[in-house]
Amino acid sequence: QYLFCKKRSINMKMNRFINQNVIITGGSSGIGSTITSRLLSEGANVIIWDILSPKEKMNEENKFFVEVDIRNWEKIKEALKISKKIIKKLDVLICCAGITGPNKKTWEYSKQEWDYVFDVNVNGTFLCNKACIPLLIENGYGRIVNIASIAGKEGNPNASAYSSSKAAVIGLTKSLGKELSEHPITVNCVTPAAVKTEIFEQMTREHINYMLSKIPMGRFGTTDEVSSLVCWLASSECSFSTGSVFDISGGRATY
């Protein structure tokens, strides 16, 4: 029996993203979908980059979808070309797309399984950052938020590919934050503990139980909680933090 926080409504109406354009990878489901909804509610124009189309109907006039495999540089360049026809400038990039990979011992991983996790989680994040940064520089303003994981800090057993790939996302974020510090562009990442989304379908029950046992609060996080943090990092309110790692793990990691 898993414990969850009751979904809380956002009482205070905020409009932090009016006239801002956002590209979000992995925005069709899970955490990315909740972040997309929050951005839309605050006035953003959102372009979802995903290999799967959103489950919800695309009936909002400021919500767009571009199919793209983020492992493929040519596909990303094509997605960027399409996106530039929709928006005149880019203000925010949020990289949510990711996979867990199989739960098995490190030495049991095939090279193909290991490479696939890194292609999506690391190379995909790198390529999307690489593609969008010139637009942020041209705009003279920008926010980048990369979604890492608490596993990237601590290393989960039977998830070495996922843990290693998310550690790489943390390192990439720190490097980019320093490189872009001469511009009004911040680069930060968040490290959630387990949040129950469709990604749980890729994990064994044993691994899910292990993750829950490591959280002092005794429950999984919610997508709403993660989206609140991500949207603050993506807003102009977050102006003096860059290359930073923001924990959201129910007390699992406090460093």
Catalytically active residues are 162
Q: How far apart are CA 172 and CA 236, in angstroms?
A: 22
Residue 86 and residue 64 in contact, taking contact as beta carbons nearer than 8 Å: yes
Question: b/e per residue, 130-157, with b = 16+ CB within 10 A?
Answer: ebbbebbbebebbbbbbbbbbbbbbebe
Total Cβ atoms within 10 A of residue 27: 27
With contact defined as beta carbons under 8 Å apart, do 245 and 148 qualify?
yes
Q: Give the single-character DSSP code of 5.
A: P
Which residues neighbour 190 within 8 Å (Cβ) at sequence distance 6 or greater? 145, 147, 148, 226, 229, 230, 233, 245, 246, 247, 248
The SS3 call for residue 203 is: coil
